[in-house]
Amino acid sequence: MILTQDQINAANKANLETLTHLTQKAFDGVEKLMELNIQVAKTVMNENVDHLKEAAQAKDAKELLSLQANFVQPFAEKTISYSRHLFNIATETQNALNEMTNHSFQSRTKKLYDLINDMGKSAPGSSDAMVNMIKQAVANANTVIESSQKAVKQAVDMTSHQTKSATDSALKASQSIFKTAVAK
Protein backbone atom coordinates (compact mmCIF):
# COMPACT_ATOMS: atom_id res chain seq x y z
CA MET A 1 0.00 0.00 0.00
CA ILE A 2 1.32 3.46 -0.90
CA LEU A 3 0.81 6.41 1.40
CA THR A 4 -1.35 9.16 -0.03
CA GLN A 5 -0.48 12.84 0.13
CA ASP A 6 -3.31 13.34 2.65
CA GLN A 7 -1.79 10.70 4.95
CA ILE A 8 1.65 12.30 4.69
CA ASN A 9 0.17 15.75 5.39
CA ALA A 10 -1.75 14.40 8.38
CA ALA A 11 1.42 12.77 9.76
CA ASN A 12 3.38 16.01 9.31
CA LYS A 13 0.63 17.99 11.02
CA ALA A 14 0.57 15.53 13.94
CA ASN A 15 4.35 15.73 14.26
CA LEU A 16 4.26 19.53 14.26
CA GLU A 17 1.49 19.60 16.90
CA THR A 18 3.43 17.19 19.10
CA LEU A 19 6.60 19.24 18.75
CA THR A 20 4.69 22.45 19.55
CA HIS A 21 3.14 20.94 22.69
CA LEU A 22 6.46 19.48 23.87
CA THR A 23 8.21 22.80 23.30
CA GLN A 24 5.49 24.65 25.22
CA LYS A 25 5.81 22.28 28.19
CA ALA A 26 9.60 22.70 28.17
CA PHE A 27 9.24 26.49 28.13
CA ASP A 28 6.72 26.31 30.99
CA GLY A 29 9.36 24.51 33.04
CA VAL A 30 12.01 27.08 32.13
CA GLU A 31 9.61 29.88 33.05
CA LYS A 32 8.98 28.34 36.49
CA LEU A 33 12.72 27.96 36.99
CA MET A 34 13.31 31.61 36.09
CA GLU A 35 10.57 32.74 38.49
CA LEU A 36 12.15 30.67 41.27
CA ASN A 37 15.61 32.10 40.60
CA ILE A 38 14.31 35.68 40.51
CA GLN A 39 12.51 35.16 43.82
CA VAL A 40 15.64 33.64 45.36
CA ALA A 41 17.78 36.55 44.12
CA LYS A 42 15.36 39.11 45.61
CA THR A 43 15.23 37.28 48.92
CA VAL A 44 19.01 36.91 49.14
CA MET A 45 19.54 40.58 48.33
CA ASN A 46 17.01 41.73 50.95
CA GLU A 47 18.41 39.41 53.61
CA ASN A 48 21.98 40.56 52.92
CA VAL A 49 20.99 44.22 53.17
CA ASP A 50 19.15 43.58 56.44
CA HIS A 51 22.12 41.63 57.80
CA LEU A 52 24.55 44.39 56.88
CA LYS A 53 22.36 46.94 58.65
CA GLU A 54 22.26 44.78 61.78
CA ALA A 55 26.00 44.13 61.62
CA ALA A 56 26.70 47.85 61.34
CA GLN A 57 24.81 48.40 64.59
CA ALA A 58 26.66 45.69 66.54
CA LYS A 59 28.15 47.01 69.76
CA ASP A 60 31.05 44.57 70.06
CA ALA A 61 32.76 41.62 68.36
CA LYS A 62 30.76 39.03 70.33
CA GLU A 63 27.47 40.49 69.14
CA LEU A 64 28.81 40.67 65.56
CA LEU A 65 29.86 37.00 65.68
CA SER A 66 26.47 36.05 67.08
CA LEU A 67 24.72 37.98 64.29
CA GLN A 68 26.96 36.30 61.72
CA ALA A 69 26.27 32.84 63.13
CA ASN A 70 22.51 33.45 63.12
CA PHE A 71 22.71 34.75 59.56
CA VAL A 72 24.63 31.71 58.28
CA GLN A 73 22.67 29.07 60.21
CA PRO A 74 19.55 28.86 57.98
CA PHE A 75 21.71 28.66 54.83
CA ALA A 76 21.56 24.85 54.71
CA GLU A 77 17.78 24.87 55.12
CA LYS A 78 17.40 27.49 52.40
CA THR A 79 19.67 25.56 50.06
CA ILE A 80 17.67 22.40 50.63
CA SER A 81 14.40 24.28 50.11
CA TYR A 82 15.72 25.69 46.83
CA SER A 83 16.85 22.22 45.76
CA ARG A 84 13.41 20.81 46.52
CA HIS A 85 11.71 23.55 44.49
CA LEU A 86 14.14 22.92 41.66
CA PHE A 87 13.51 19.19 41.84
CA ASN A 88 9.73 19.70 41.86
CA ILE A 89 9.91 21.91 38.76
CA ALA A 90 12.06 19.36 36.97
CA THR A 91 9.75 16.51 38.00
CA GLU A 92 6.60 18.38 36.91
CA THR A 93 8.15 19.23 33.56
CA GLN A 94 9.42 15.70 33.03
CA ASN A 95 6.03 14.19 33.94
CA ALA A 96 4.22 16.54 31.55
CA LEU A 97 6.64 15.70 28.74
CA ASN A 98 6.36 11.96 29.47
CA GLU A 99 2.57 12.13 29.51
CA MET A 100 2.48 13.91 26.16
CA THR A 101 5.05 11.55 24.67
CA ASN A 102 3.11 8.50 25.87
CA HIS A 103 -0.14 9.87 24.48
CA SER A 104 1.52 10.59 21.15
CA PHE A 105 3.13 7.15 21.14
CA GLN A 106 -0.19 5.41 21.79
CA SER A 107 -1.91 7.44 19.09
CA ARG A 108 0.79 6.64 16.55
CA THR A 109 0.74 2.97 17.47
CA LYS A 110 -3.01 2.84 16.87
CA LYS A 111 -2.54 4.55 13.50
CA LEU A 112 0.22 2.09 12.63
CA TYR A 113 -2.05 -0.86 13.49
CA ASP A 114 -4.83 0.68 11.39
CA LEU A 115 -2.40 1.10 8.49
CA ILE A 116 -1.23 -2.51 8.83
CA ASN A 117 -4.86 -3.71 8.88
CA ASP A 118 -5.65 -1.64 5.80
CA MET A 119 -2.57 -3.04 4.11
CA GLY A 120 -3.71 -6.58 4.97
CA LYS A 121 -7.19 -5.96 3.54
CA SER A 122 -5.87 -4.67 0.23
CA ALA A 123 -3.07 -7.24 -0.14
CA PRO A 124 -3.48 -10.64 -1.74
CA GLY A 125 -4.66 -13.50 0.47
CA SER A 126 -1.20 -15.01 0.95
CA SER A 127 0.04 -11.89 2.71
CA ASP A 128 -1.82 -12.67 5.98
CA ALA A 129 1.32 -14.24 7.42
CA MET A 130 3.32 -11.11 6.57
CA VAL A 131 0.70 -8.81 8.14
CA ASN A 132 0.65 -10.94 11.31
CA MET A 133 4.44 -10.89 11.45
CA ILE A 134 4.46 -7.07 11.17
CA LYS A 135 1.79 -6.80 13.87
CA GLN A 136 3.85 -9.06 16.15
CA ALA A 137 7.00 -7.00 15.52
CA VAL A 138 5.12 -3.80 16.43
CA ALA A 139 3.69 -5.45 19.55
CA ASN A 140 7.17 -6.62 20.60
CA ALA A 141 8.61 -3.14 20.04
CA ASN A 142 5.80 -1.63 22.13
CA THR A 143 6.49 -4.11 24.94
CA VAL A 144 10.19 -3.19 24.95
CA ILE A 145 9.39 0.53 25.00
CA GLU A 146 6.86 0.17 27.82
CA SER A 147 9.29 -1.94 29.87
CA SER A 148 12.03 0.63 29.35
CA GLN A 149 9.72 3.45 30.42
CA LYS A 150 8.74 1.55 33.58
CA ALA A 151 12.40 0.86 34.42
CA VAL A 152 13.32 4.52 33.95
CA LYS A 153 10.38 5.64 36.12
CA GLN A 154 11.39 3.21 38.87
CA ALA A 155 14.99 4.47 38.72
CA VAL A 156 13.84 8.10 38.92
CA ASP A 157 11.52 7.32 41.84
CA MET A 158 14.26 5.45 43.69
CA THR A 159 16.77 8.26 43.09
CA SER A 160 14.24 10.84 44.26
CA HIS A 161 13.64 8.93 47.47
CA GLN A 162 17.37 8.49 48.12
CA THR A 163 18.03 12.17 47.39
CA LYS A 164 15.30 13.22 49.81
CA SER A 165 16.67 10.92 52.52
CA ALA A 166 20.22 12.18 52.03
CA THR A 167 19.04 15.79 52.06
CA ASP A 168 17.06 15.31 55.26
CA SER A 169 20.06 13.62 56.92
CA ALA A 170 22.38 16.43 55.84
CA LEU A 171 19.96 19.03 57.17
CA LYS A 172 19.72 17.29 60.55
CA ALA A 173 23.50 16.97 60.74
CA SER A 174 24.06 20.64 59.87
CA GLN A 175 21.52 21.73 62.47
CA SER A 176 23.21 19.58 65.09
CA ILE A 177 26.65 20.95 64.19
CA PHE A 178 25.35 24.51 64.29
CA LYS A 179 23.70 24.03 67.69
CA THR A 180 26.93 22.57 69.05
CA ALA A 181 29.02 25.41 67.62
CA VAL A 182 26.68 28.12 68.94
CA ALA A 183 26.55 26.53 72.39
CA LYS A 184 30.34 26.79 72.72
Taking CB atoms within 8 Å and a gap of at least 24, the contacts of 156-161 are: 156/94, 160/87, 160/91
Please tell me the predicted confidence (pLDDT) of residue 32: 94
State the total domains in the chain.
1
Q: What percent of the chain has pLDDT over 70?
A: 88
Whether 4 is in a domain gets the answer no
Within a domain: 173:
yes
- Percent of the chain, pLDDT > 90? 18
pLDDT of residue 125: 64
Q: What pLDDT shows up at residue 150? A: 81
State pLDDT tens for residues 9-41.
887 888 888 889 889 999 999 999 999 999 999
Kindly report, residue by residue over 76-108, the tens digit of the pLDDT.
788 888 888 988 898 889 888 888 888 888 888
* Contacts (Cβ under 8 Å, ≥6 apart) of 102: 149
Residue 57 DSSP one-character state: T
Give the model's pLDDT for residue 54.
92
Q: What is the pLDDT of residues 117-136, one digit of tens each?
A: 777 777 666 667 777 777 78
Give the C-alpha separation, 82 to 74, whole Å. Answer: 12
The parent domain of residue 109 ranges over: 9-183
Q: What integer pLDDT is reported at residue 184 of this predicted model? A: 60
Q: Judge if pTM exceeds 0.85.
A: no
- pLDDT of res. 50: 93
Would you state the pLDDT for residue 49?
A: 94
What backbone phi and psi angles, to 5 degrees, belong to 59?
A: -85, -30
Q: Is residue 114 part of a domain?
A: yes
Q: Which is more confident, 115 or 38?
A: 38
Is residue 98 in a domain?
A: yes
